[in-house]
Amino acid sequence: MRFVRLLLGLTPIAFGLSILWLGQDTSWDLRNYHFYNPFAFLNNRLGHDVAVAHVATYYNPLIYIPFYWAVTSLPPQWVGFLLGFIPGLNVFPIFGIARRVVVLSRPLQSAWFCLFLSAVAMLGAINLAEIGTSFGDNVLSLPVLGAIWLIVRFRERLCASVRAGWPAAVAAGVLAGSALGLKLPFAVYCVGICAAFFGLPAPFSRRFALAFVFGLGVLAGASLTGGFWLLEMWQRFQNPFFPYFNEVFKSPWGALGSYRDERFIPTGLLMWLSFPIWFNIDPMQVGEVGFRDLRFPLLYILLLLMLGRMLLRRLQRRGGKDPHGEASASMTPFFIVFMVVAFVLWMKLFAVYRYAVVCEFLAPLTVFLALEALLKDERRRLMTAVGCLVFLLATLAPGNWGRRPWSNDYFDIRLPELARTRKAVVLSAGHEPMAYLIPYFPPEVRFLRIQGFVTGPSPHLNETDRTMMKILADHTGPMMVLYKNFEEGHALEALEFYGLKMEPATCERFLPDIEPYRDYVFHLCTVVRK
C-alpha cells in the first residue's frame, strides 16, 4: 500500500513535468479569451472594449485569473508545469471513488487495481489533450469528482436517513455548483448527479429529498462562483447569460437567438443511437481536432448488454425463475444513471468532446461496474476488466490543439511602432483570435470588434452596434484597424459599413511566435473617415 500511495502522489508531478516535454499551448481559445478576459476584469475594461473576444468576451473570467497572474508573474515553463500539475490532482478523487466502489476479496489486489484503473482514467483523450492548456475543463472536474467522492464516502449515511445524509448532499451540491458557476457546460454534471441520487439503495422519498437538498447546494455553489457575473450581465445587458438564450431574455444588445454552437450536436435517430461509436469513427463530429479513445464505445456496448440481461431477468422472474438475484446495496445504479444522464444531456446541448471530461474520467470505473453486473466470478471479472483497460490504452490517440517549443516569453509579442500610438481606437476585423494582444497595447487604447462572430456589417443594428458607432463618432484621436492578411476582405467590408477607409501605405505587419500558422500575418493600419 505504501508504494501505491507513493505512485499516486507522484502522478501530478509527472503530469506537470510532461508539459515541459510536450511544449506550450497555442490553442485558439487561449489567444481569444483565456488571457484577455481576466485582464479585462482586473482592469475594468468590460465597458472600455467591445466584443473583442467574440461571444467569449462575456464569459465568467474568474477561472482564468490564476492563469493570468501566473503568465504575468512566472517563467513560461513554471506556468506549464502548473497547468499539468493541477489537472494531475484529478487522480486523487478518482482513486478515492474507486477504492470505495471496487470490491475485491484481496485488499492489496484491490488497491493495485484501483491504481491501474485511475491511471487509465487519467490517460484519456480529453485529459491528455488539455494537459498544459488553459481550457480549464480538467480543472473544474476536480470539484465535480469531489462531489461524487463525498456521496460515495457517505453513502451509508445518505441511505440511512435524510437527517444523517443531508450535510454530505449539500456539500456535494456546493462543490458541483461551484464548477457550474464558473463554466455553464458543467450543468450537465449537476443534473447527472441529481438524477443519480435516484439510483441509491434507499426509499424513493429519501432519494427525492437528498436530490432536492443537493440541488439547493448546487444553487449555493453556483451563486458563490458565478452569481456576481450573472448580476453583472443582467445589469449591463438585461440577460444574465448574455449573449446566450437571448431568444428568451431579448436583450437589445444582441440578436434574438440562442448563440449556441450546434455544429456538433447529432442529427437523426441513427446518429443519436450510435453516437458513442460514431464520433470515434469521425472525431471531427465532436470537435476540431482528431483523436481516438474507445472507452465510450466499450462502455456503450457493456451497458447495452446490461440492459439485455436486465430484460431477460425480468422475463425469468415472470416465469418464476431468478437464478442470479439482485445486489441491493450496489453503487452501480448510481454511476450508470449519472453517466447516462450526463452523457445524453451533453449530446443534446453541445456534443463538444472536451466538455465530456468528467464522463471520460469515470468511464473506466463504470466499465468495471458493468462487468461486475455481467460476470459473477471475481477472477473472470478482474481479468476481463484488466484486458479491457489495457485495450483502451493500446488504442488511445489523444488530440492536440497546438503546441510550440518553450521560450522565455509566453506569447513572444513584438508589436510594431504604430501600436505605441496612445489614445487610439483599434478596430478588430475578421474572425481570427487577437484579444490576447490587447494587454500589450497602451492601456488607454480602446478596442472594438467591428466584424466577427457577434458583431459585423448588418442592416439589423443592436445596442452593441450603436455603441461602437457612437464611440467612433465621438472619437477625435487616431484610429487603426487590426486584422489577419487572409481576412482583408472582411476588414474592408466592415470599415465601409462604418464609413471608414484604410490607408494601405501605413500598414505594419507582425506575427507573435505563439501564432501556429506562420503565413497568417497581422496587419495594423491607420484608418480615416471617408
Model confidence pLDDT, tens digit, residues 181-196: 999 999 999 999 999 9
Domain identity same for 231 and 144? yes
Instruction: State whether 331 and 430 are in the same domain.
Output: no
Is the model's pLDDT at 455 over the cut of 90?
no
Return the axis-axis angle of helices 332-349 and 269-281, rounded to nearest 10°.
100
Once rounded to an integer, what is the mean pLDDT over residues 377-394? 95
The answer as to whether 288 is a domain residue is yes
Q: For residues 503 and 458, state if they share a domain.
A: yes
Q: Is position 198 within any domain?
A: yes
Q: How confident is the model at residue 470 (pLDDT cuts 50, 70, 90)?
A: very high
User: pLDDT tens digits, residue range 26-39?
Assistant: 999 999 999 999 99
Pairing of β 522-529 and β 500-502: antiparallel
Do residue 447 and residue 305 come from a single domain?
Answer: no
Counting the structural domains of the chain, the total is 2
Q: For position 329, what pLDDT does the model report?
A: 57
pLDDT of residue 325: 42
151 with 250, same domain?
Answer: yes
CB 435 within 8 A of CB 459: no
From the centroid of its chain, how far is CA 191?
16
Considering the domain architecture, whether residues 382 and 440 belong to the same structural domain is answered as no
- Are 337 and 421 in the same domain? no
**Region 379-404: what's the mean pLDDT?**
95
Residue 285 falls within a domain, yes or no? yes
pLDDT in tens, 231-272: 999 999 999 999 999 999 999 999 888 888 888 999 989 999
- For position 48, what pLDDT does the model report? 95
Question: Per the domain annotation, does 412 fall within a domain?
Answer: no
Residues 174 and 112 in one domain: yes
Query: Is 408 among the domain residues?
Result: no
Q: What pLDDT shows up at residue 320? A: 56
Identify the domain boundary among 363, 394, 425: 394
Per-residue pLDDT at 309 exceeds 90 = no
Using one digit for the tens of pLDDT, what is the confidence trace for 131-148? 999 999 999 999 999 999
**pLDDT tier for residue 327 given thresholds of 50, 70 and 90:** very low
Instruction: Tally helices (H) and strands (E) across the chain.
Output: 21, 8
In a domain? residue 411: no
Q: Is 422 left (phi over 0), alpha (psi -120 to 50) or beta?
A: beta
Q: Has residue 419 got a pLDDT over 70? A: yes
What pLDDT does 44 receive? 95
Domain span including residue 171: 2-394
Closest CA to 46 of 65, 66, 31, 60: 60
Is residue 401 situated within a structural domain? Answer: no
The pLDDT value given to residue 314: 78
Q: Are residues 116 and 10 in the same domain?
A: yes
The pLDDT value recorded for residue 319 is 60
**Helix (H), strand (E) at residue 522:** strand 522-529
Let me know whether 432 and 356 are in one domain. no
Instruction: Give the confidence band of 321 by pLDDT, cuts at 50, 70, 90.
Output: low
Point out the domain boundary residue: 357, 379, 394: 394
Q: Is residue 48 part of a domain?
A: yes
- Over residues 48-99, the pLDDT tens digits come to 999 999 999 999 999 999 999 999 999 999 999 999 999 999 999 999 999 9
The pLDDT tens digits for 154-185 are 999 999 988 999 999 999 999 999 999 999 99
Grid cell locating 512: 507573435
**Mean pLDDT computed over 384-396:** 96
Ranked by mean pLDDT, the top range of 103-117, 303-317, 324-338 is 103-117
What is the overall mean pLDDT for the chain? 93
Strand (E) or helix (H) holding 194: helix 187-196
Amino acid at 478: P
Separation between Cα atoms, residue 377 and residue 211, nearest integer Å: 34
Same domain, 173 and 28: yes
Buried/exposed code over 205-233 (b: 16+ C-beta within 10 A; e: otherwise): ebbebbbbbbbebbbbbbbebbeebbebb
Cis check: omega of the bond before 243, within 30 degrees of 0: yes
Question: Residue 176: which of 146, 138, 216, 207 has the closest Cα?
Answer: 146
pTM for this prediction: 0.94
Alpha-carbon distances, residue 403 vs 30, 131, 225, 268, 287 (angstroms): 11, 11, 30, 36, 17
pLDDT band at 465 (very low <50, low <70, confident <90, very high): very high
Mean pLDDT of 497-506: 95
Residue 370 shares a structural domain with residue 443: no
